[in-house]
Structure 1
Amino acid sequence: MSEQWTLLAEVADISPDTGTLRAVLDGEAVCVYKVDDRICATQDRCPHGNASLAEGYIENGTIECPLHQGVFDIASGAPLCPPVTTPIKVYAVKVEDGHIYVRTGQA
C-alpha cells in the first residue's frame, strides 16, 4: 500500500504576519501553520466554539483560539488549557518545491 498525498496550498500563501493560512480539503477547513521552519496542518475549526484557528495566535508551537483563548499544541493537537478539552485533528504534511501536501489516506 502507498500513501495518498493531496495538494493543499503553497508555502508562499501563508501569511507572513500571522504564520497561518486557511485552506479547504475535501470540503473541510484546514489551518496551515508556519512554525519556525516547519509547516504543520490541523483542523481549522476550534472544537470548543465556532472559531477559525487560522485567525488565532501562534506562540511557541501553540495556537490560541481567537474566540475564547483556548490553546492547542500545533504538532500534537493536544488541548493545553481551559476551556478547551478536546484535541484537534492533526494532518501529516510534506513540502515539495513550495507545495504543501497532506496525507489523506492509504491506497
Structure 2
Amino acid sequence: MPWIDACATEDIDAEDLIRWDHGGQTFAIYHSPEGEFFATAGLCTHEQVHLCDGLVMGHLIECPKHNGQFDYRTGEAKRAPVCVNLRTFPVRVEGGRVLVEVA
C-alpha cells in the first residue's frame, strides 16, 4: 500500500485536526497531546458530517452535528448517537511530513 504525503507536522496544532482529501475520500488527521499523529475517515459514521469542524478533546473527536464522540486513536465510537466505529489508517512521520497509508 502506498504511503501518501498528507501535510506537514506543523500544519496541525496539538489537540487539533485538519481535513485531508485524497483519491475521492475525505480523511481527518489528528495531532495528539503527546505529539503523535493519527488518521481516520473524515466523515462521522452517524450522518456523514465532516469531522474537521468538530472539537478535539484529549484523544476524542466530537462530531459537530450531534456531539457523538470517537477515540481517534482506535476509531472506537464512545458516545451516542454514534455506534459505528470510524475507520483508521496507519500514519508515520518522516522529515517533518505526515504520511498516511491509504488502501
The verdict on a shared fold, with TM-score over 0.5 as the criterion, is yes
Unaligned runs of 5+ in 2: none
Q: Distance in 2 between matches of 1:17 and 1:7?
A: 19
CA radius of gyration, larger in: 1
Backbone CA RMSD of aligned residues: 1.6
The Cα of 1:69 is off from its aligned counterpart by 0.3
TM-score, structure 2 as length reference: 0.90
Which of structure 1's runs of 4+ aligned residues deviate more than 6 A?
none
2:50 to 34, 44, 52: 52
Identical counterparts, % of pairs: 27
Q: Distance in 2 between matches of 1:18 and 1:40?
A: 11
Which residue type is aligned with residue 64 of structure 1? E
TM-score, structure 1 as length reference: 0.87
Say if 2:15 and 2:32, in contact at 8 Å, map to a contact too: no
Q: Who is 1:21 aligned against?
A: 18
Deviations 1:20-78 (A, max 9, x none): 11011211111011111111110111011131111111112010001000000111101
How many residues are aligned here?
102
2:100 to 99, 102, 107: 102
Unaligned runs of 5+ in 1: none
Q: Distance in 2 between matches of 1:77 and 1:12?
A: 23
Q: Who is 1:11 aligned against?
A: 9
Which residue type is aligned with residue 101 of structure 1? L
Say if 1:18 and 1:57, in contact at 8 Å, map to a contact too: no
